[in-house]
Amino acid sequence: MSDASYTGQGHGAGVAGLDGAYAKSGEARPSDYIALLKPRVMSLVVFTGLVGMALAPGSLHPTLAATALLCIAIGAGASGAINMWYDADIDAVMTRTQKRPIPQGRVTREEALGFGSVLAIGSVLVMGLAVNWVAAAILALTIGFYVFIYTMWLKRRTPQNIVIGGAAGAFPPMIGWAAISGDLSLLPVLLFAIIFMWTPPHFWALALFRSDDYARAGVPMLPVVAGERETRRQILIYSLLLVPLTLSPYALDLAGPLYGLGTALLGAFFLVLAFRIWRGRDDRAPKHMFAYSILYLFLLFALLLAERGLGWGA
């Protein structure tokens, strides 16, 4: 199946009555608005942003540092809410997302858009006024990239959607770094590159065991468009690129031996899982990779944080 077969699919198509028949204003609980912020995604974003802040040279008043972290969290959540507004039709047909507040009819699409937009603008303004405008600009870029480049442009058009769109999830360490130092240097760029390169194997592992879901929703994820075999091969290629990249902060003397050793071990297991997926003999391998990839990224950044806390960093 080619990309072109998806290109014409309009947003909002396929779910009759999404705007009015069963979604009405006034049904939402506060927890529904929290769900719009995609709190699980937010937690990894906040953590990587926190590590960026911890590694950056310089200091910031604790209140302002907490404000910066809050702005990163709210900005990420706002992107999620706007994404749910735009992708309500997709969410309604995918098993993984059917329980979200808009498909369930507890929040209207307009409410989600308004909620997300106010939070997006507010988080950027507060970041700029309270912390600095470099961090605010990168936060605005992150939100804009996720909403306009990934959600509106790439997601429904190309199997490279999460490759390019992955940049949106990779910006938080740079925002955190810029919040403290007011500028950028090599280490935050490397952290960006690591998350960027981590995203394809992470999402393609998910797509391998959710490909029916994506196909039904008309999202041209790689397994749907190019097949499982090619996806497994691409997961291996990106994993082989990712692991040396994760070692680069140590190789360039930007991280210490704890990070170097820990990353080598974690990366070795990542590659073992990638090879298991590539061989294609174990149906559980993609699920294992998906679960491990989250832990892997968390632990990589935790190692950097631990080194900084112990004063062992380079």
Partner 1 sequence: MAGRDEDKRRRARNIALALALGGLVVLFYLITLARMGGGGQ
- Site residues, partner 1 (CB under 8 A): 26-30, 33, 58, 60-61, 63-64, 67, 70, 126, 130-132, 182
- Shortest gap between Cβ of 130 and partner 1 (angstroms)? 5
Q: Considering all CA atoms of the chain, what is the largest pairwise distance in Å, rounded to the nearest integer?
A: 59
Residue 13 or 66 having the CB closest to partner 1: 66
Residue 130 or 149 having the CB closest to partner 1: 130
Residue 135 or 273 having the CB closest to partner 1: 135
The alpha helices in the chain, defined as continuous H runs, are 4-7, 30-36, 39-55, 62-86, 88-93, 109-126, 133-144, 161-170, 172-181, 186-209, 211-217, 222-225, 228-251, 257-279, 285-310
- Shortest gap between Cβ of 106 and partner 1 (angstroms)? 9
- Shortest gap between Cβ of 45 and partner 1 (angstroms)? 20
CA 68 and chain centroid, separation: 19
Residue 76 or 236 having the CB closest to partner 1: 76
Please say whether the beta carbons of 218 and 9 come within 8 A: yes
List of residues 6+ apart from 202 with CB closer than 8 A: 289, 290, 293, 294, 297
Residue 27 or 230 having the CB closest to partner 1: 27
C-alpha–C-alpha distance, residues 192 and 6, integer Å: 30
- Shortest gap between Cβ of 135 and partner 1 (angstroms)? 10
Residue 33 or 259 having the CB closest to partner 1: 33
Single out the residue of 41, 132, 30 nearest to residue 83, CA to CA.
41
C-alpha–C-alpha distance, residues 171 and 96, integer Å: 25
- Shortest gap between Cβ of 103 and partner 1 (angstroms)? 18
C-alpha–C-alpha distance, residues 294 and 298, integer Å: 6
- Shortest gap between Cβ of 61 and partner 1 (angstroms)? 3
